[in-house]
Structure 1
Amino acid sequence: MNTAQKEVKLSRYDDFPVGIGTVYKIKEIEIAVFKLSTGEIYAIENKSPHPKGGRLSDGLVSGGYLYCPLHDWKISLKDGKVQAPDKGEVRTFKVEHLNDQVYIHI
């Protein structure tokens, strides 16, 4: 199994709006990137773990959590885990902020 990750430059740090998902398609994976009010940036797969699916990029961000826009599931942006009483997990990606640029490891 090839576990090598590729670093991909996304955009300038200031280009990311606070609390609003920005969507990128990398290696056939749609990724939602969120900047928190603390300045931290997180990236998750743009697909709800709910059986009916849905795009997470349109969700509401509160603290370090994202609320699924269709099912109101609370999802940690840090580790992708759905919070109780719901169950599931979203794929997360490592993000780096270097010299005013944001990179993702995929």
Structure 2
Amino acid sequence: MSWIDIGHIEDIPLRGARIIKTPVGCVAIFRTDEAEVFAASDTCPHKGGPLSDGIVHGKSVTCPLHNWVFSLETGEAQGADEGQIATYPVRLENQRILIDGDAVGKRTAA
């Protein structure tokens, strides 16, 4: 893995998100707790809603358009909804947020 420093944890509000632009599209960095962050696609697969504008609760985010709920750990839709969002490796080091540059650096060929 090739870790890239993308900012300080205080740059993201508690139970909030910020977006970074990458070759794989917009990735939302979610802060769920004082020292817990997750990285996932910013786009809901249902209607394309911006997940970074959603409600962060526990280790999940609820899409602001139609209330679909996704696990920030696995990307899987929860409850009766079906679908999945991409998740990316992210970690904290000395209060700095690091994301795996290899994971967000390339689009996959389909």
| The two structures share one fold, judged by TM-score above 0.5 | yes
Where does structure 1 lack aligned partners over 5 or more consecutive residues?
none
Confirm whether residue 65 of structure 1 aligns to residue 60 of structure 2.
yes
C-alpha displacement of 1:41: 0.2
Normalising to structure 2: TM-score of the pair?
0.84
Q: State the Cα RMSD in Å.
A: 1.3
Confirm whether residue 37 of structure 1 aligns to residue 33 of structure 2.
yes
Confirm whether residue 24 of structure 1 aligns to residue 20 of structure 2.
yes
Normalising to structure 1: TM-score of the pair?
0.87
C-alpha displacement of 1:28: 4.6
Count of aligned pairs: 101
C-alpha displacement of 1:49: 1.3
Separation in 1 of the partners of 2:84 and 2:24?
Answer: 19
Where does structure 2 lack aligned partners over 5 or more consecutive residues?
104-110
Q: 2:81 aligns with which of 75, 79, 86?
A: 86
Q: Which residue of 2 aligns with 1:100?
A: 95
